[in-house]
Copies of this chain bind each other. A is one copy, B any other.
């Protein structure tokens, strides 16, 4: 660590002033970018949008990160938690040239500067937040809460990477961020890189002070020590002092991190280290207008968005803006052509070490194909449909274990989940790798290890945030979750889908591995946990989002789950939701049939129906999901036995988006395909895994829709037996037979008797379960029999 020379300080300050000038310019200026003439109203944007308040702090950190990268040479990825400070990050990317490399028409000269200013928050331009459009970013800072989890996700298995993560004191109040501090208990100093949190206390949110900024410093220090960090404080409002202090703090932090890595890697010391954290206290809206309309602005929440709002109409505001912009002395920072002068760029590193040019922020550049085993190695043998049972997720666990083994050296695959890998029966992976754990280990513990690649923490937010960071930096993974509780990350997956949707449209962003969910311990099998654990609505949530990104799969058995898993693990730029049970489930399809079925996404199961070669069936029994498939097949068997004249077609749907019009989803079937499966006019009784109306929402444009009758979960949940759950929700085999009988016109008289028999069986179920607390023996012992 060395003190800054005056020359270094002056150059850093020049860079910072240039970035501040460019940030303010983006918010205000439509013309006259270099202030070569007096500022006039017509130079001002008609709509003043953006967030100034956080920008000077982000500019300060960017400037100083430039310095340490240039001087010390680490690979640095920046995560800008206060991402609504988009103007700052764009300003820096423009200064370092990475912006022009991704957007060639925004050149590093006066014309490009004018474009940079104009496009910001301008219709057809770039958003006001750090976004996929921003080079060097893997993080949209709009929603707030996920920066630190993203940073850790990026650092895992990137041993030479330093992730600098700026956390706003607003964001620090959120739950996900509060939980993220403990991510350091999962960071392996040997195989993982480092995360340097920079907690920026500018004191205010939109309209309030922040909790952390108003803690006494000793209390904040205790908190950060309690999080396992060693705090380094930088405070002030004098630029020169703050420059010196921040440069020193960054040097100290990087020395400390290097020391941790050396100790762990060379000396093999394995105590969990105390990692540095920088606490940076500078005024909100620093260097902006001290006051406006007689009220203080700089250093207050009033600096949050646009500090001078009336610039076009109010000459005093215009005058203040001009004075503010000129206070950065743009003529010293840019030459006559608008190019940054050498002194401004003195601190900027070269090539891919520039924060805006790191390939880690464009993970597709680094992505390698995942080594997936041949499915034959894990497929279950199916001599006949329904002849045997397997736990689908356990079978999948074998495949995942192979992937873990094949990536043992590459270390680019991780499994995340909230403490449920074993409970969800994926524990074969634990024969190959451990659960990541940096704290103490007791003799009774199993499968905990410092270098493990299974991540278990009781926080879906952390699982999601870590995995997003891991994927966006070019690696692979899977999130296994209880189905109901994945709603905890509804909002996070929204943001990730938005990120992917925008990224797919940017030519310079390379495709990344998809975010894959395995939703298990699903609604139909919450024997232990009951109503609070019953919610199949994540599928509904996801299917509202960009169709180019979202995919939903409901494999009905073990081999179809393998095929789906193979597909989603190879896919790019998607969010794949796979719903599959962990309980024993009949094997319906052999591997080859499963492959063909999954490739189609939906198909007729001739062996299960009673069509017998006739042109059109009397009715269609459709199903999607493992439990509904079992009930539909049991219903088909009852129909075969008791209504021998009835021609019923069984259709199974694996890929739910196949039901959508193909104009609305890339997987959607054209009408002729849909009609060939479901007919145009026959009754369709559809047994669906989740909320029944979702099927209507997907299929409402189809010809057969008026005849579509869907059964599914309708919030009749409790702690009960598996069969009682389906009866309570009218999804059971007996009800499905009744539904078919009710809907096929002109059935023989005998049909009414069959219907009554089904109703009687439901009554018998109710009586039996009240007495025994178990399912009817004929249900518990049921086996498929096509005879």
Contacts and interface: CB of A to CB of B under 8 A. Distances in A.
Interface of A: 30, 45-47, 49-51, 84, 121-129, 131, 140, 142-145, 170-171, 173-182, 185, 205-211, 214-215, 219-228, 296, 299-300, 305, 419-423, 435, 437, 439-440, 442, 444-445, 448, 456-462, 484-485, 487-488, 490-491, 494-495, 498, 501-502, 527-533, 535, 537, 540-541, 544-546, 691, 693-694, 696-697, 700, 705-706, 715, 718-721, 724, 769-770, 772-774
Given A49-B528, A179-B173, A501-B715, A724 B487 contact: no
Nearest to A224: B226
Given A174-B175, A175-B177, A537-B541, 12 more contacts: A47-B527, A123-B721, A124-B770, A129-B530, A144-B458, A208-B456, A215-B439, A219-B226, A225-B226, A487-B494, A537-B544, A696-B697
A174 B225 contact: no
A480 to B, nearest CB: 13
A44 to B, nearest CB: 11
B458 A170 contact: yes
A127 B530 contact: yes
Contacts of A174: 175, 179, 458-461
A142 B696 contact: no
B700 A696 contact: yes
A47 B721 contact: yes
13 contacts: A46-B774, A123-B718, A123-B769, A127-B532, A173-B182, A173-B459, A177-B179, A206-B423, A209-B439, A210-B458, A219-B226, A223-B223, A488-B491
A214 to B, nearest CB: 4
Contacts of A206: 419-420, 422-423
A46 B223 CA distance: 49
Contacts of A533: 142-143
Contact of A491 (B131, B228, B490): B490
A718 B140 CA distance: 13
A315 to B, nearest CB: 22
A444 B211 contact: no
A506 B729 CA distance: 21
Given A129-B532, A170-B419, A175-B176, A541 B490 contact: yes
A446 B275 CA distance: 37
A151 to B, nearest CB: 15
Nearest to A772: B46
A207 B419 contact: yes
Given A179-B174, A696-B697, A719-B49, A531 B770 contact: no
Contacts of A122: 773
Identify which of A30, A225, A531, A541 gathers the most chain B CB atoms within 10 Å of its CB.
A531
Contact of A419 (B208, B530, B724, B773): B208
Given A46-B773, A719-B49, A444 B300 contact: yes
A51 B530 CA distance: 13
A50 B773 contact: no
Contacts of A531: 127, 131, 498, 502
Nearest to A694: B697
A42 to B, nearest CB: 12
Nearest to A219: B226
Contacts of A181: 178
A226 B228 contact: no
Contacts of A439: 209, 211, 214-215
Contacts of A220: 226
A126 B234 CA distance: 56
A691 B45 CA distance: 32
Nearest to A423: B206
A726 B448 CA distance: 53
A530 B121 CA distance: 9
Max chain B C-beta neighbours (<10 A), residue from A299, A439, A544, A772: A544
B494 A535 contact: yes
Given A47-B721, A228-B219, A490-B541, A173 B457 contact: yes
Contacts of A696: 696-697, 700
Nearest to A182: B211
A445 to B, nearest CB: 6
Contact of A770 (B123, B299, B545): B123
A140 B532 contact: yes
Contacts of A545: 715
A306 B627 CA distance: 25
A175 B529 contact: no
Contacts of A423: 206-207
Nearest to A222: B226
B697 A128 contact: no
Given A697-B697, A773-B47, A719 B121 contact: yes
Given A175-B462, A487-B491, A715-B501, A123 B773 contact: yes
A563 to B, nearest CB: 28
Contacts of A697: 693-694, 696-697, 700
A523 to B, nearest CB: 12
Contacts of A419: 170, 205-208
Contacts of A46: 772-774
A25 to B, nearest CB: 16
A715 to B, nearest CB: 5
Contact of A720 (B123, B140, B529, B541): B123
Tell me which of A124, A456, A459 has the highest count of chain B C-beta atoms within 10 A of its own C-beta.
A459
Nearest to A227: B223
A128 B528 contact: yes
B296 A124 contact: no
A346 B210 CA distance: 48
Contacts of A30: 773
A543 to B, nearest CB: 9
A421 B537 CA distance: 30
B458 A209 contact: no
A34 to B, nearest CB: 21
Contacts of A774: 46-47
B208 A448 contact: yes
A486 to B, nearest CB: 8
Contacts of A769: 123-124
Nearest to A486: B491
A51 B209 CA distance: 43
A180 B210 CA distance: 15
Nearest to A715: B546
A285 to B, nearest CB: 12
Nearest to A216: B440
A225 to B, nearest CB: 4
Given A47-B774, A461-B175, A770-B124, A532 B225 contact: no
